[in-house]
Amino acid sequence: MTHHLHIALWGVLPYLVLAVLAGGTAWRYRYDRFGFTTRSSQLHESRLLRIGGPLFHYALFLVAGGHVMGLLVPEWLTERLSVHEPLYHAVALTVGGTAGIAAVAGLAVLLYRRLRVPAVRRGTSRSDRLVHPLLALVLLAGLTATFSSSVSAHHPYDYRLGVSVWFRSLFTLDPDTAAMAHAPLVYRVHALPAMALFAAWPFSRLVHALTAPLGYLTRPYLVYRSRARTTPYRHPAAPLERRPPR
Amino acid sequence: MPDRTRRTRRDQRDQRDRQNQQEQNRQDQQDQQGGQKRNARRSRRSRRPAAPRVMAQVAMVMNLDKCIGCHTCSVTCKQTWTNRAGTEYAWFNNVETRPGQGYPRRYEDQDTWRGGWQLKHGRLVPRGGGRARRLARLFANPELPTLDDYYQPWTYDYDNLLSAPLGEDVPTAPPRSLVDGRPTAVTGGPNWDDDLGGGPDALAGDPVLSRIGTQVRLSYEQTFMFHLPRICEHCLNPSCVAVCPSGALYKRVEDGIVLVDQDRCRGWRMCVSGCPYKKVYFNHRTGKAEKCTLCYPRIEAGEPTVCSETCVGRLRYLGVLLYDPDKVGEAASVPDERDLYAAQLDCFLDPHDPAVARAAEESGIPHDWVTAARDSPVRKLICDYRVALPLHPEYRTMPMVWYVPPLSPVVDALTADGFDGEEPAALFGAIDTLRIPLEYLAELFTAGDTGPVEAALCRLAAMRAHMRRVNLREPRDPALARGVGMDEDGIEAMYRLLALAKYEERYVVPTGYSHSGPAGAAAEAGCSLEADGGPGMYPQGPPDADAFHAPLGAPLGGPPPGAVPPQPAPATDPTGRSLRGRVNLLDWNGEGRPDGLFPRRRESGGKDA
């Protein structure tokens, strides 16, 4: 029974989440491009946001970078580069731990602000109510996982031989569910809400992350557009217009 | 040394950007040529050195002498565009009293808000920082005004008047915040300091006044005030466009109107702080930027904007200006701020010049636009009579809503002192001696250079004096006109334009065209503000242009979420059911018997009936 559960959770669910993430994003981009926004509340409250916003987001960049390192780079590669496990672990713990604490602190400021500033609270949507607790849960579990491996001193769990193997196996379409099933509970508690978060991604304000304006770096300052090219986007459900008779 | 190499690299990139942009515009023009594309390209290549590139801009001039501060423009604009949830605080058009703090409060203090452009080592960069700095501040814009800088919108709990329990006291309608619905204390509002309300304390916050100096301030407050109506400037070098990370803001090639593409806006809110006039607003419900659209659906139909149409004092003028887009960047980066007015004048092209007219048509500007540019009242006031001046040229955005500075305060001060306010010698003397208003106006319109303001006021004074002689049948004095660099005919023509001009002389707006693709492509392009919660939202998708402009009062359809523009006669009735070839009785004018007035008989109509 548990075997089937493991297969469902770590062998099937990730693909479902990926499908929802990709399909949902495509669907939203097609049907609700107007909804792609940060829904910023800075107009109502600026002081706390100026602390919490950058703290949370910049820390998240570091955290995301750390996940790329930890999940995608196999251990044999770092060994080959003479970065041995204890050193790697120490670096991951200090950098990842700091970033994690910063992200949690930033989120705490933002959540406090969202709950206590009436105007911001009023602007909170239903999807926010789902996404914010999920984010907090994922961050806290992740932070716990980072520190738990250093606290249990003797035989720290090497996630690069467990969780990472499972993660990479997902992309070879041969999920190593056992690797994840045998991981400590905290890793599984981290991964499950994370998958929920990715599934909720296209349907919440998180989509703004997918529209990061990197093109701004190479674009000319001034943008000219012709009337004929004003709106390249037409809602698929909008009726086709008749051309006015000439 | 590394600094220098970086600079040159940046310069190269800017150069490349500019070329790309020009290339793209050229591409647009070539598309516009349609079938003759290859021909056009060949001829352009051979002729390019001679002909400048020409672009058209719909611009506005406001005659401040005539503004009585009635706020009709603001109210009609609000009813048209921003009477929706999320834009309660936004006024695309507002009228502020000068001296005064303006709206949002102290918006002219660019040390705080960092709007517009600045020259950095001779290069033009947004004052709030270049691309990298903008992106680094994506998660919290340090220069964003909060709602308190505009005002907290509120309503009144009118229900309490009816539902309050019986008691000794008369029930009241207590104020409620429109943002969070809670009881609120009203501490500010639109035009809170109207007509110098708030007194010297509020006036002390005027950033323009504080630039002039203290001893001036006190005497100034005793002299005069005037009203300043403001809309988006639809700049030639818009800094809101430049700071938008997602490229949602753009300047339209055809008419120069600056718009926000609601489907591309991601709510990064850089434009709000990037605009030095604070004329881009953040809709806190939809999370998108919105701004004055110069009522482009009306402009495209050849009609004036709502604020112009409803202006009680008839002080607004709308018209086309032709300009050379390749000169704009250079003009915006002249080192001395005081040269910006002259530099901008230099960008404008004379449509009477046959070479310009030819170049304009080669650039894809239709003939009726060139004709409109010749008749443009805006061009006459700006270029011919030189009485209109730009608002805050020192922001280097090349604004395109210009102002005729007010002479009446000078006249008023003169008559209050017992002089004849229209006697030329006294008037010219007063303009010269009343340095304070002059310096204040110069801070507003010419970056502090009193020369152009004085010249404009003298021209207005000469016009007054001359027309008085005409009206009183006194002998005319040609020296009066000559003294201000005009002739009598010119003065009388200017008088006609400023005092008598009828509707069609004040608003010379040619109907819209589309710069690329065949005619009709623009109609398919739709409207960038069409979205849930946005203005111009139609319950059943956009109507076709002909139906939209049909004179018949078409019925309203769907739920009324704020401003629902008139519905065209649709193929469905207001409840959304198909009319199946029958006449919508609401559209029937009661005459004749059109097809489909009655349902078809069962025999001939088949299963349709």
Place of tokens 């008085």: B468
Rg (CA), chain A: 22
Residues B281 and B361 in one domain: yes
Helices B37-47 and B2-33 pack at an angle, to 10 degrees, of 130
Asked if B25 has any chain A CB less than 8 Å from its own CB, the reply is yes
Instruction: Look at residues B385, B404, B423 and tell me which one is the last residue of a structural domain.
Output: B404
Domains along the sequence of chain A with CATH: 2-229 (1.20.950.20)
Asked if pLDDT for residue B552 goes beyond 90, the answer is no
Indicate the pLDDT class of residue B69, thresholds 50, 70 and 90: very high
Does A224 sit within 8 Å of B25, measured CB to CB?
A: yes
Q: Ramachandran region of residue B366, left (φ > 0), alpha (ψ -120 to 50) or beta?
A: beta
pLDDT in tens, A40-60: 999 999 999 999 999 999 999
Residue B571: DSSP 8-state: S
Asked if pLDDT for residue B277 goes beyond 70, the answer is yes
User: A242: which chain B residues are within 8 Å (Cβ-Cβ)?
Assistant: 544
User: A123: which chain B residues are within 8 Å (Cβ-Cβ)?
Assistant: 284-285
Rg (CA), chain B: 27
Token duo for residue A83: 């970065």
- Here the CATH number for the domain that contains residue B459 is 1.10.3650.10
Paired sense of beta strands A224-225 and B288-291, if any: unpaired
Residues B347 and B265 in one domain: yes
Chain CA centroid to CA B554, Å:
29
Residues B413 and B341 in one domain: no
Indicate the pLDDT class of residue A154, thresholds 50, 70 and 90: low
Residue B157 belongs to a domain: no
Residue B40 belongs to a domain: no
Q: Of B553 and B414, which is predicted with more confidence?
A: B414
> What pLDDT is attached to residue B200?
77
> What pLDDT is attached to residue B202?
81
Length of chain A: 246
- What span, in angstroms and rounded, lies between the C-alpha atoms of B513 and B530? 20
- For residue B531, what is the nearest residue in chain A, using CA coordinates? A34
CB B487 within 8 A of CB B370: no
Does B525 sit within 8 Å of A228, measured CB to CB?
A: yes
Buried b (16+ CB within 10 A) or exposed e, B270-288: bbbbbbbbbbbbbbbbbbb
Beta bridge partners of B482: none
> What pLDDT is attached to residue B557?
39
Residues B386 and B438 in one domain: no
Asked if pLDDT for residue B459 goes beyond 80, the answer is yes
User: Average pLDDT in the B123-140 region?
Assistant: 94
Does A208 sit within 8 Å of B266, measured CB to CB?
A: yes
- What span, in angstroms and rounded, lies between the C-alpha atoms of B462 and B351? 27
User: Average pLDDT in the B476-495 region?
Assistant: 94
Paired sense of beta strands B316-323 and B55-63, if any: antiparallel
- What span, in angstroms and rounded, lies between the C-alpha atoms of A124 and B511? 43
Indicate the pLDDT class of residue B50, thresholds 50, 70 and 90: low
Indicate the pLDDT class of residue B560, thresholds 50, 70 and 90: very low
Does A226 sit within 8 Å of B514, measured CB to CB?
A: yes
User: Average pLDDT in the B448-466 region?
Assistant: 94
CA distance B273 to chain A (A): 11
Does A46 sit within 8 Å of B146, measured CB to CB?
A: yes
Asked if pLDDT for residue A139 goes beyond 90, the answer is yes
CA–CA distances in Å: residue A19 to residues A5, A25, A33, A201: 20, 10, 20, 12
Does A223 sit within 8 Å of B544, measured CB to CB?
A: no
- What span, in angstroms and rounded, lies between the C-alpha atoms of B23 and B344? 23
Chain CA centroid to CA B540, Å:
30
pLDDT in tens, B424-441: 888 888 887 777 788 899
> What pLDDT is attached to residue A232?
55
- What span, in angstroms and rounded, lies between the C-alpha atoms of A231 and A233? 5
> What average pLDDT does chain A have?
90
Domain carrying residue B582: 538-609
Residues B501 and B601 in one domain: no
CA–CA distances in Å: residue B441 to residues A88, B101, B107, B503: 66, 15, 17, 28
Residue B109 belongs to a domain: yes
Phi and psi, residue B156, nearest 5°? -120, 145
Across the interface, of B177, B249, B287, the residue whose CB is closest to A223 is B249
Residue B420: DSSP 8-state: -
User: Average pLDDT in the B353-368 region?
Assistant: 94
Asked if pLDDT for residue B61 goes beyond 80, the answer is yes
Instruction: Look at residues B463, B490, B506 and tell me which one is the last residue of a structural domain.
Output: B506
Asked if pLDDT for residue B484 goes beyond 70, the answer is yes
Task: Report ipTM (2 d.p.).
Answer: 0.91
Residue B95 belongs to a domain: yes
CB B253 within 8 A of CB B32: no
Does B246 sit within 8 Å of A216, measured CB to CB?
A: yes
Indicate the pLDDT class of residue B1, thresholds 50, 70 and 90: very low
> What pLDDT is attached to residue B34?
35
Q: Please state the domain count of chain B.
A: 3
Instruction: Look at residues B351, B385, B404 and tell me which one is the last residue of a structural domain.
Output: B404
- For residue A237, what is the nearest residue in chain B, using CA coordinates? B541
User: B268: which chain A residues are within 8 Å (Cβ-Cβ)?
Assistant: 38, 40, 213
> What pLDDT is attached to residue A228?
73
Asked if B571 has any chain A CB less than 8 Å from its own CB, the reply is no
Sheet with B249-252, edge to edge strand ranges: A224-225, B249-252, B258-260
Among A29, A30, A40, A43, the residue to mutate for chain B (most B Cβ within 10 A): A43
Token duo for residue B311: 């202006």
Indicate the pLDDT class of residue A156, thresholds 50, 70 and 90: confident
Residues B375 and B412 in one domain: no
Asked if B254 has any chain A CB less than 8 Å from its own CB, the reply is yes
> What pLDDT is attached to residue B307?
97
Residue B324: DSSP 8-state: -
> What pLDDT is attached to residue B534?
53
Place of tokens 């005659």: B63
Asked if pLDDT for residue B417 goes beyond 80, the answer is no
Asked if B288 has any chain A CB less than 8 Å from its own CB, the reply is yes
> What average pLDDT does chain B have?
82
- Least confident range from B13-27, B262-276, B483-497, B552-566: namely B552-566
Q: SS3 of B95, please?
A: strand
- Least confident range from A93-97, A241-245, B43-47: namely B43-47
Residues B448 and B337 in one domain: no
Of B527, B549, B553, B592, nearest to B81 (Cα)? B527
Asked if pLDDT for residue B519 goes beyond 70, the answer is no
Q: Of A228 and B163, which is predicted with more confidence?
A: B163
What percent of chain B lies above the pLDDT cut of 90?
A: 63
Instruction: Convert chain A into a string of H (helix), E (strand) and C (coil).
Output: CHHHHHHHHHHHHHHHHHHHHHHHHHHHHHHCHHHCCCCCCCCCCCHHHHHHHHHHHHHHHHHHHHHHHHHHCCHHHHHHCCCCHHHHHHHHHHHHHHHHHHHHHHHHHHHHHHHHCHHHHHCCCHHHHHHHHHHHHHHHHHHHHHHHHHHCCCCCCCHHHCHHHHHHHHHCCCCCHHHHHCCCHHHHHHHHHHHHHHHHHHHCHHHHHHHCCHHHHCCCCCCEECHHHCCCCCCCCCCCCCCCCC
Does B267 sit within 8 Å of A226, measured CB to CB?
A: no
CA distance B61 to chain A (A): 24
Residue B37 belongs to a domain: no
Residues B263 and B302 in one domain: yes
What percent of chain A lies above the pLDDT cut of 90?
A: 76
Around Cβ B255, how many Cβ atoms within 10 Å?
A: 24
pLDDT in tens, A59-71: 999 999 999 999 9
Residue B21 belongs to a domain: no
Residues B417 and B386 in one domain: no
Residue B168 belongs to a domain: no
Around Cβ B330, how many Cβ atoms within 10 Å?
A: 13
> What pLDDT is attached to residue B25?
47
Give the H/E segment covering residue B119: strand B117-120
CA distance A57 to chain B (A): 7
Of B406, B491, B413, nearest to B445 (Cα)? B406
Paired sense of beta strands B258-260 and B249-252, if any: antiparallel
Within 8 A by CB and 6+ apart from A180, the residues are A6, A9, A10, A162, A163, A166, A187, A188, A191
Residues B400 and B414 in one domain: no
User: Average pLDDT in the B496-504 region?
Assistant: 96
Paired sense of beta strands B249-252 and A224-225, if any: parallel
Q: Cα torsion at B318, B319, B323, B328 (round to 10°)? A: 10
- For residue A55, what is the nearest residue in chain B, using CA coordinates? B139
> What pLDDT is attached to residue B425?
82
- What span, in angstroms and rounded, lies between the C-alpha atoms of B305 and B526? 19
Residue B6 belongs to a domain: no
> What pLDDT is attached to residue B475?
92
Residues making up the annotated binding site of A are 57, 67, 190, 208
Residues B443 and B455 in one domain: yes
Residues B448 and B373 in one domain: no
Within 8 A by CB and 6+ apart from B24, the residues are A224
> What pLDDT is attached to residue B38?
37
Does B525 sit within 8 Å of A227, measured CB to CB?
A: yes
Place of tokens 């918006």: B107
Residue B46's Cβ-side half-sphere holds a number of Cα atoms within 13 Å equal to 5
User: Average pLDDT in the B66-91 region?
Assistant: 96
Does B520 sit within 8 Å of A246, measured CB to CB?
A: yes
Across the interface, of B140, B147, B516, the residue whose CB is closest to A54 is B140
- For residue B180, what is the nearest residue in chain A, using CA coordinates? A119
Asked if pLDDT for residue A20 goes beyond 60, the answer is yes
Q: Of A246 and B515, which is predicted with more confidence?
A: B515
Q: Of B54 and B436, which is predicted with more confidence?
A: B54
Asked if B541 has any chain A CB less than 8 Å from its own CB, the reply is yes
> What pLDDT is attached to residue B42?
40
- Here the CATH number for the domain that contains residue B327 is 3.30.70.20
Does B259 sit within 8 Å of A216, measured CB to CB?
A: no
